[in-house]
Structure 1
């Protein structure tokens, strides 16, 4: 639970800093406030996927003991964190290139490909989370059945 809480705090910091970075970068680049850039949504993604989702996982850990499947829980954490960080990093890169007025050209496919890998990792992470939750529910039901019979 401590590792989850630490990760939540790190994502909170990254989310807040990325929001500040968006504001300052676009202000100093004279970027029109009405024009869309990926920089504007990096902080919401970090706060949602890194803080809110992991707060829910922390609550599930406290109630269902997801870490009673330690290998699967470790896989979930590693893959999920990689997915969030890769996706957010590519959003930041695309946003920076857009604000700087860079011609994406061949870089567009590369950034999209890496962002796609980040989304695949997120998907795998969510699937692993569902497997963890299912295992915990089955384990809990089994424990309750054994307790009632005893």
Structure 2
């Protein structure tokens, strides 16, 4: 649980910092306000996919002990975090090129696509681990004090 909390905190800092970078970098380079750049998307990807999703996973871990399937949980963490970092990095790179008036390449889009694939694979592994944890928790018999509370 500590890893999830720390990762969520790092993503929150990175998300806020990328928003600051977006605002200041566009101002510094006289980028027209309102014109699209992917720098703003990096900000929201880091905050939503990193910070918020990992806080939700933290709550689900507390309730269902998902990490009791340690291999699945480790695969989820590695795939998901690699995907979010790769995708966000490419958004920052592509957005910075846009602000600087430089041409982007298909390589950037391809690498960002690999990041999205890793995020998707991580989510699939997460749901497999979550399903196992939920099934494990519903298979346990209800204890006597819990039965009394239900009555």
User: Which TM class, normalised by the smaller chain length?
Assistant: over 0.9
Residue 51 (structure 1) aligns with: 51
Q: TM-score if structure 2 supplies the norm length?
A: 0.92
| Root-mean-square deviation (Å) | 1.1
Q: TM-score if structure 1 supplies the norm length?
A: 0.93
- Structure 2: 5+ residue stretches without partners: 145-151
Residue 117 (structure 2) aligns with: 120
From 80, 99, 110, the equivalent of 2:107 is 110
User: How do 1:58-97 residues align onto structure 2 when only pairs under 5 Å count?
Assistant: 58-97=58-97
Moved over 3 A (4+): none
**CA–CA separation in structure 1 for the residues paired with 2:97 and 2:7:** 28
Question: What secondary structure sits across from 2:140 in the alignment?
Answer: helix
**CA displacement at 1:121 relative to structure 2:** 0.1
Question: What secondary structure sits across from 1:32 in the alignment?
Answer: coil
**CA displacement at 1:132 relative to structure 2:** 1.0
Question: What secondary structure sits across from 1:37 in the alignment?
Answer: coil
**CA–CA separation in structure 1 for the residues paired with 2:3 and 2:26:** 34
- Structure 1: 5+ residue stretches without partners: none
Q: Deviation digits for residues 114-148 of structure 1, max 9, x if unmatched?
A: 00000000000110111011001111122237x58
Residue 149 (structure 2) aligns with: none
